[in-house]
Amino acid sequence: MVRQVQSTLRWLSIGLVAGALVRELRTPSERRAWHGELAGFIPYDFRPPTLERLARSLWNPDDPRLLTPMVFGVGWSVNLARAARLARSALAQ
């Protein structure tokens, strides 16, 4: 059962990456951004990562979101600053 779930998630991930790449490659080269969303809500970003974007994605106390777009690839990262704030809040109760 676990192997089936892992296999399904692996194929889903491959499909999302392929879908994002196809979307970008179908766009005229002068308009390609190499970042955007699939199906209107799944973020992707194939631009070379920068320290600024890495910090903004993984540790951004000003962002109320727990999940932020990945710095490179398809999907979401965890905003550790928000996670820490939520954990402190839960422990204080």
Q: What is the pLDDT of residue 93?
A: 80
Range of the domain at 72: 2-92
Q: What is the pLDDT of residue 47?
A: 97
Report pLDDT digits (tens) over 26-48.
Answer: 999 999 999 999 999 999 999 99
How many domains does the structure of the chain reveal? 1
Token pair of 60 as six digits: 């951004």
Q: Are 17 and 30 in contact (CB under 8 A)?
A: no
pLDDT at 14 over 90: yes
Report pLDDT digits (tens) over 52-71.
Answer: 999 989 999 999 999 999 99
Q: What is the pLDDT of residue 43?
A: 97
Taking alpha carbons only, the member of 62, 12, 70 closest to residue 36 is 70
